[in-house]
Structure 1
Amino acid sequence: MTNLSATIEIIRPEAIEFGSGAINAVARFARAKDIRRPLVIADAFNAARVDLLGLPREVTVFGEVKPEPDVPNLEKALAVAHAAQPDLVLGFGGGSAMDLAKLVAVLCTGDQTLADVVGPDKVAGRSVALVQVPTTSGTGSEGGIRALVTDPVTRSKLAVQSRFMLADLAVVDPDLTMSVPPQVTAATGVDALAHCVEAFTSRKAHPAIDLYAIEGIRLVGRHLARAVKDGSDREARAGLALASLYGGFCLGPVNTTAGHAVAYPLGTRHNIPHGLACAVIFPHTLAFNMPAVQDKTGAVLQALGASAMTDPAAAFEIAYRFCTDLGIEMRLSALGVAADDLGIMAAEAHAIRRLLDNNPRDLSAEAILKMYRAAF
C-alpha cells in the first residue's frame, strides 16, 4: 500500500514551538512581528483565558466558535475581522477554532468568498499573520492546510485546502490541555488516532508519512488511557499533543479515508462532536479495511498494545474495547441517532468521494449502512 517511488511533499508550519511553557512563544512572535491588531478566534472557554497568550497590545476576541462550526459561524467571525482589520489571526482552542482561524486569515482581506475557495488550492493568498494554539489533542489542525465548515442547507462539510492556511507559528503547549475533561480527552485522542491510522492505511500512504503515522498511533496507545485517568499527567498530555501534531502532518499530503467520511454525517446531522463520531466509527472501518491492508492493520494493533493478527472480527473487538475502556459511548442509539436516519446518512457518507477514494478497500453505500446498523 506504500509507494516508495511516489513524490510527496511533507507540509509543516514555518515554525513549531512544542512543550511545557511553549505558550510564551506567542508573545515573542507578536513582538518580533510588531503585531498591533491581533484577532483571537476561540470558543467561549478559551476566550475567557486569552490573557495566557501574553499578546502585548489590545486584543480583539471572537469567542463564539461552535463545536461543529457552520457557514453562519464563519460569517460572524469574518464580520468581526472586517471591523478589526487584524494583522494577526490566532486560533486558540480545538480544531473548530483553528479551522475558523485559517479561513478568517485568508478571507478577511481581498475579494474572495468561501464559495470561491472550497476545494483544493483555490485560495489566492494571505496578507495577515497566522498563529495556531491548540488546547485539545485531537485534530492536529495546527499542523495542517485544511479547514472544514458545515453547510447548514446541505448538511455537508465544505473543505478548503491551501498552503496559505499553513500557520506561520504553531504553539503546542501540553499544559493547555490539562483542563480538558476525561470524556473529551478520550474522544479527541481517538480522533488523533484515526488520523494516523487512516493515513497509514490509505491508498495514498507514503513511507515518509508512515513514520509520523505509526509513531502517532504508538503515542496514543501509550498515553491516552493515562490522560483519561489522570488529566494532570504531564507526560501523558505531552504524548497526546505530539500524537495530534503528527496526525496533522499526515493530513496535508495523505488525508483521511473512510473513517472520517462515515463519521461526518454524525456531526452534520446530529451534532455529535467530531472526535466522538470518529471513535464510534473507528473499529468498524479498521476491521472492514483489514483484508486490503493486513500487515499495516496488524502493526496498528501492535502499536495499541495487542498482538498482531489477521482476523478482522478480532481486530474489531480490540479496537472496540480500546474505545469502551476509555469510557466512550459507542452506540448510535444512545447518542440520539434515529434508526430511520441511517439510510440517509449512508448515502451522504458515500458521496464524500474526496475521502472514500483514498480508502484501501472500496466501500459501498450498503456497506456503510451495515456499519451504522452494527453501531446502532
Structure 2
Amino acid sequence: MTDLSTPIDLIRPAEVAFGAGTLPRVARFAAERGYSRPLVVADAFNAAQVDRLGLAGAVTVFGDVKPEPDIPNLDAALALAAEAQPDLVIGFGGGSAMDLAKLVAVLPGSGQTLRDVVGPERVAGRRVGLVQVPTTAGTGSEAGTRALVTDPEAQAKLAVQSRHMLADLAVIDPDLTMTVPPAVTAATGVDAMAHCVEAYTSRRSHPAIDLYALEGARLVGRYLPRAVADGADREARAGLALASLYGGLCLGPVNTTAGHAVAYPLGTRHHVAHGLACAAIFPHTLAFNAAAVPEKTARVLEALGAPAVSGADAVLEHAYRFCADLGVEMRLSRIGVPEDDLDRMAEEAHAIRRLLDNNPREMSRADIAALYRAAY
C-alpha cells in the first residue's frame, strides 16, 4: 500500500457533465467546437436511438458493437471510420461501445495498428474529438484511458492504455439507464463495485483514490438493491451512475487486481458477460485477500451493509449473499463454464500480470484453480 507522499497522476476527462437531463450537452459541445461529421459508435439498441443525441451535420452510425468486442468487430468499426472521415467520435452505450470509440478515435489515419498500441502509452496521438456517453452504470469507461478488445484466436483480452484516449467530454445522464433490465443492472453494478473495491485494496492503492473507491462501494451498497427492485428509481440510478464514474476514476492511476484477472477468462473463453463474470468472482477474491488487507476489507463489507468482519469465511458469506440477493447467478456451472476448462482458465488468469501484480496477496495458479472450483 502507498502513502500520502507517493507520487500519483490523477487524470480525467476535460469536461464531465453529470446528472439527469445532461444529454443535450453532447450536441452543444459538437456545435461549440464546430464538429460537422460525427461518428457514433453504439450497440444495436442504442444505435436505434441516436436521434436522442440531437446531433447536426452528416451523422454516421456504427451500430454493431458486440458485447466483449473482438478484433473483427473493431476492424469493422475502423473500416467505417476510414470511409466516413469523422471529425468527432461519440461512444454511446456500455463499456464495449466506449472502448471501441476510443480506438476508433485514435487509429484511423495514424499509421498504427491495434497490435502497435497494445500496452501503456503507445498511441501516437489523436486528431478528432472524443465524447463518451454511458447508457449503463458499471464500467466507468467514460472516465478512463483504457480500451479492451478480445483476440479470438488467443482467447485473451488486449489492453490499450493511452492519455490520447481520454474523452474531451463525458456526459453521464442517469436517465439513460432507466430501461436497463434488472439482471444487467445487478451485474454491471457489481462490476462498478469491483472496480472500486479492487482499487481500494490494491498494492497500488493511494489515499487520493481511496476516497473515490470507498465512496463508490458505499453508493453501490446503498443504491444497487433499490435499482434492481425498481428500475424507475431515479435516485438509485443516479447513485449507481456516480459509483460507476468513481470506479472509472480509480482505474487510471490504480487499476484493478485479481478479481478482474480471474474474471477475464470467463468472457474470452466462454462468452460470459463481463459484469456477470466479475460478480461471480468478486466474493471469492475479496475473501482471499482479506488476510492481507483486513481493515479495508471490513470497511468494504460495511459499505455493502454487512458486519465489519475480515475473516475469510465470513467475508465470503456476506459478499456472496449481497450479490446473490440481487438475483445474480453465482455458480460458474450455471453460466456456461465447463468444469474441464478450469485449470486452463487458471493458467490464463495467472498470466495476466498487469493486474495480478497489483493484488495485495500473491495468488498462484493453484490458488486461482481452487477459487474457480469454489465458485463452480
TM range (shorter): over 0.9
Q: 1:2, CA displacement in angstroms?
A: 3.4
Structure 2 counterpart SS, 1:68:
coil
One-letter amino acid matched to 1:369:
A
Can you list the C-alpha shifts for 1:304-361, whole angstroms capped at 9, x where unaligned?
Answer: 1112113110010000000000000001111111110000000000000000000000
One-letter amino acid matched to 1:161:
Q
2:44: which partner in 1?
44
Segments of 5+ residues of structure 1 without an aligned counterpart are: none
One-letter amino acid matched to 2:215:
E
Can you list the C-alpha shifts for 1:127-158, whole angstroms capped at 9, x where unaligned?
Answer: 00000000000000000000000001100100
2:219: which partner in 1?
219
2:192: which partner in 1?
192
Partners of 2:179 and 2:317 lie apart in 1 by 31
One-letter amino acid matched to 2:76:
K
Structure 1 segments of 4+ aligned residues over 2 angstroms from their partners: none
Partners of 2:66 and 2:109 lie apart in 1 by 23
One-letter amino acid matched to 2:34:
D
Partners of 1:357 and 1:270 lie apart in 2 by 25
Partners of 1:2 and 1:181 lie apart in 2 by 39
1:340: which partner in 2?
340
1:318: which partner in 2?
318
Structure 2 counterpart SS, 1:203:
coil
Any residues of structure 2 matched to 1:1-376 within 5 Å, and which? 1-376=1-376
One-letter amino acid matched to 1:312:
A
Can you list the C-alpha shifts for 1:276-296, whole angstroms capped at 9, x where unaligned?
Answer: 000000000000000000000
Partners of 1:146 and 1:287 lie apart in 2 by 27
One-letter amino acid matched to 2:259:
G
Can you list the C-alpha shifts for 1:194-250, whole angstroms capped at 9, x where unaligned?
Answer: 000000000000000001000000000000000000000000000000000000000
Partners of 2:361 and 2:153 lie apart in 1 by 31
Q: 1:109, CA displacement in angstroms?
A: 2.2
One-letter amino acid matched to 2:174:
P
Partners of 2:34 and 2:234 lie apart in 1 by 33
Can you list the C-alpha shifts for 1:24-78, whole angstroms capped at 9, x where unaligned?
Answer: 1001001001111100000000000000101012210000000010001000000
One-letter amino acid matched to 1:115:
R
Partners of 1:310 and 1:197 lie apart in 2 by 14
Structure 2 counterpart SS, 1:184:
helix
Structure 2 counterpart SS, 1:104:
helix
Partners of 2:289 and 2:342 lie apart in 1 by 21
Partners of 1:72 and 1:90 lie apart in 2 by 20
Partners of 1:108 and 1:242 lie apart in 2 by 32
Partners of 1:273 and 1:109 lie apart in 2 by 32
Q: 1:89, CA displacement in angstroms?
A: 0.3
One-letter amino acid matched to 2:170:
A
State TM-score, norm by structure 2: 0.99
Structure 2 counterpart SS, 1:111:
coil
Structure 2 counterpart SS, 1:292:
coil
Partners of 2:310 and 2:174 lie apart in 1 by 36
Q: 1:177, CA displacement in angstroms?
A: 0.2
State TM-score, norm by structure 1: 0.99
One-letter amino acid matched to 2:129:
A
Partners of 1:310 and 1:135 lie apart in 2 by 35
One-letter amino acid matched to 1:89:
V
Partners of 2:130 and 2:294 lie apart in 1 by 40
One-letter amino acid matched to 1:297:
T
Partners of 1:355 and 1:109 lie apart in 2 by 31
Q: 1:3, CA displacement in angstroms?
A: 1.7
Partners of 1:107 and 1:212 lie apart in 2 by 31
Segments of 5+ residues of structure 2 without an aligned counterpart are: none
Count of matched residue pairs: 376
RMSD: 0.5
Partners of 1:188 and 1:319 lie apart in 2 by 16
Partners of 1:17 and 1:336 lie apart in 2 by 39
One-letter amino acid matched to 2:93:
G
